[in-house]
A and B are shown apart, each in its own frame.
Chain A
C-alpha cells in the first residue's frame, strides 16, 4: 500500500439513499445525554471572576460609587465603574447594533433598574459576590417613565438626547431617533389609499391589543469568558452568543483594534431564542479583562437574564375596513413598542414586524405606523418571532373580532383574504410562502367547517375553538459563508459561523453536506464557530441557518466536486465532461472511484486537503423578494375548555402546522414546531414581567412561570407543510418561529368562542377571562 491513510470505502452494494427528508440521530446527542457536552461555563478556566452591581433606581444621575470597602476584601482584584471606562484611553464604551446608545457600564446616568453600574473582579466567585454587596452606588433620582404613552408626551423625561445610526447594517443605515419624545425609531408603510379604502368599506372596526414585556428564559444564563493578551493587544472571547461575527466586530471597534485581533469562540448554548444576539455581556467582560490584563469570567444568574435582555411589550391599535361579504379592503395598524432603555435591534424589529403587521392577508390599502419607544425598563432585544408574535396577537385576534362584527366564520374570512402563493402582499409580489396551505392543513385536520364541538355535561365548562395563521419575514439582507474541508480519507470538516443553540444545526448541516457528497453522515464533522477560522455569518437568528448556511454548503460542495473532477481528469487523463461526482463516487468513463481514492491518489506526503468554499447572500438575484429571503408561515388550531366560574381554561387539543419548504429532517422540524408552540403557550397563559415603580417584582422562575410539562395539551398534532422554496437548499427554509406567533391568538380566539370573553391583553390569565365573561354577560 502506498498510502497510510485509511480509505473510506463507500458500500458499493447498497444503493445510495438521500439523507434529505430522513430522520438521523443528532450528532450532538450522545454528548447531551451523557452530560459530556460543554457549555461555556463547563470549560476549564483559570483567571478571575466578575460580579455585576446593578442600578436599583429606574432613572437617575450617578452621584458617587464607593468601592473602597469592596477593594479592601482579600482576594478582590479591582472594582470597575463606568467612569473608569469613560476615562480609559483604550475603550470607546458605547455599543449597539442600530444606535450606539448603550454604555458598557452606566456612565453618568442609569436608565433602568438592573442596569450594570459597576463590576467587581475577584479571585473566586464567592469573594466577588461578597465584595459586590460592599459597593455603594448613590444616585439622584430623575423622573422616570415606564409607559409608552406617557413616554411620548411633550413633558416626558428624555432617556437619550440624540441618536445616529451605528451604520453597521444596510437595512438600518437610515435609522434615526424620531422628533417625538423618546421614540428611538418610527417606521411607516403606506400601500394604496387608506382613507378611500375605509370609505368604500361596509364596516369599519377598530380595537386595541397589548402584549407585556416577557423574557426568553434560556435555561443557560449569560456566561462569557474574555482573555486579553497584552503582548498582542488582542482578545479571546468564549461566549454563548448567536452572532459571533458581530461580537468580533463590535469588540474590535470599541477597543480600536482590527477584527483579526478578536477571536470569538462559541461552544454549545443552553438555549437562546434571540436573547444571545449582537452583544450582551461580551463588551463588559472584555473591558474587565483589559482592565486587569488577565482572563475574566462572568456567569450571570438566571434572574440577571431579566436585567439583560427582554422581549418588547406592545400596544397595538388595529382598524379594519371590510365589505359585507368579507373582503378586507383597508387596514391601519399602529404598533407602539416598549423597547426599554436601549434600542438594541428594536429599529429592525419595528420595521420588519411592521411590514407584516397586517398579517397574512392581501389588503389593497394599508397603513402601518410602528414606533420603538424608550422607557426606563430593561432593553428589548430579538426574541423568537421577532416582533411578529406581538403584532399577530393584535391582528389575528382582530380578524376574529371583525368576523364576528360582520357575522362571518372567522376561518372563512381568513381564507377569503389570505395572500396566495405567488400573489401580492403590501402591493408587491411575494413568491412562494405556503400560508394558505398551512391554514388549509389545520382546517382539514379538524374538519373546521364540518364539525361542531360538543359541549360538556358540566354546565360551567364551555368548549370553544380558534385558529390563527401567520406570515413572517426572515432577516434580509444577510450573508452566510461555508468552508468544507475534504481530507484524503474522504471525510469532511464543515466550518461555518452557525451556532448550535439547540435547534440542531450541526446535524442539519451534516445531512446537507453528506447528502451533497454522497458520503455517510458519520464522516462529516460540523464545527461550532471560532471566528479565527469560521467565515462570515450574519447571525444564527431568524430561522435563517438551514436556508442560508445550507445554500452556502451546497456551493462549497459544488466546488469540491469540481476539484474532484479536475483531479480525476488529470490523474486518469480523461475529459472532464466524462466525469461526474455522484452517490459518493467519482464516476468516469473508465470506472468508478471512491472520493477518498481520488483525493488520496492525487496528493503525496501522507495527505492533502481539498477546500470547498460557498457563499450565499440575499442581495443577489432576488427580484421582488428583497423584503424577505424566504417567508415563514404556519397556523394553529386550539380547542379549549373554560371553567366559566373561575376563568381557568385548559387546551384540550391543538394542531400546529408550519411550512418547512422541505423538511430536511422531519423529526427535527416537528421539534421546532412544537417547541415554538409551547414557548408561546407560556406567553399566552402566564408570562409577563410585572413592574412596580419601575422594578420587576417577579424576577425568578418562582414567580415568572414558564410552561411546565403539566401545562402542555395532551392531544397534539403537528403538520409539516412542504411548499418547496424555490431558493432553499432542496427547497428547505426556516421553521423555528411560525408557531410562536400563531398560538396566542388561536387560544384567545378559542376562549372567545367558548365563553364570550375577549381578552385583548396578553397573558390570558384566568382573572382576565373571568372579567371578560362578566363583561360579555352585562
Chain B
C-alpha cells in the first residue's frame, strides 16, 4: 500500500547538522499512513530521514485498518523504516487487537511487523514463551502460550507456532501449531511435521445429577488433526 506523507509533533527537537540526525523530545506524536506512534523521544536519521527510532515508557503504536479494527502495541523501543513500512521492537511487548466484541492480547519480547506491504498489520512475535489471550463476551477466556505468534494482517488469522499450550476453562490442549480464525472463531490445531508432537486434548464435562454418576469424568482422547468447534 502506498504510504502517505508522515507528520510529527513534539515539544522540542535537536538537529545534529553534522551527522544529519534530528531528535524529537517530549510528547512526540508521529503519524504515517494508518499508524500513529506516541513516544518520549524519536530519532530520525538515514536516507531521507527514513529510519525512525522511538523510545518511551512505553512507546505506544496505534494502528487502525480499513475495517476500523485496531492494533495497539506497547514496547520500550521501536525502530520503523518509513520507506518499506517495516517495524521492529524489542523488550516487553504487548499487542492488543480489538475487533468488534473480541479482544486479543499477545505478549512477547521480540517483534517484527510491516504496515506497508499488506492492507492490515502483519507481524511475527517471539517470546520465551509468547502469551496469547482471547476475551469474548459470555465465553471463558482462552489462554495459550507458544514459541511464536504470527499474523499476516489480512485475513484476521493468528498462528501460534511451537510448543503450543492452550487452556479454556477446564479444557487443555497441546499441539505443534494452532490457528485462531478471528472471523469464524474457529481454533484448529495440528501436529508437527515430524509427527513427534501430536495434538492432545483433555477436557472435563459434568454428568447429569439424577444419574448419581461421578460429578466429573476425565477423558483423554488422542485426536489427530480433528477440528474442534468453538
Partners in one complex: no
Residues of chain B touching chain A, judged by Cβ–Cβ distance below 8 Å, are none
